[in-house]
Amino acid sequence: MGTKTADETGAETGAKATTDEEKVSVAKTDEVTEAEDTAADEIDDEIDDEDDLPEAAQEEGPTGVGQGAGAVVSAALGLVSLTGSWVGTVASARQSLVGQLHAQTATSSDVAKLLDEGYGDAWKATALWGGVFALIALVVGVGVLARPAFGAPGKPQATWIKSVAWGGVALGVVGLLLAVLKYTDLLLDLPSAS
């Protein structure tokens, strides 16, 4: 029996050791499973939150991207009306060419008429296209500023959109004023021929 007892004790010790190892292994597995479950729950919550985002955005109404783009376009067109555009340059060059052709075919050598046809008409073409760009800038800027009155009630327009739109309106007004002054020869008129 002594041997048996020793064997039984050894077997019991071995079994007990195995049981402790199993307990540790099971505890670690439970911790990993709980961590995986927590991570899965967090991912599910994030997915649910992402699913809610489009609905929330739809409920809030427009984001103002179109208004912001309109404000930037207004400011850019106002700046183009002041600095000149490719279209204005081409129209000016065309009018200058037409004036030179008229001068070569004209029988009279009236210098005032040659100046007016060669350079005056080109100047007016530049002024006209500058005025067109200024008017478009003015209309787009006023449209952006007036948009909230016709949009979602209670939703304020972003401050930067208002600022840029007001800048476009101001540049449009200045560009339109300069275009009128140039076209009517009140600003930088042609030199006299005599």
In this predicted model, what pLDDT tens digit does every residue of 19-49 receive, in sequence order? 666 655 655 556 656 656 665 566 655 554 4
Confidence of residue 147 (pLDDT cuts 50, 70, 90): confident
Which amino acid, residue 89?
T
Whether the predicted model's global pTM rises above the 0.85 cut: no
d(C-alpha 120, C-alpha 96), whole Å: 8
- Residue that wins the pLDDT comparison between 82 and 97: 82
Helices (H), the chain: 2-60, 65-83, 86-105, 111-115, 121-150, 159-183
Confidence of residue 175 (pLDDT cuts 50, 70, 90): very high
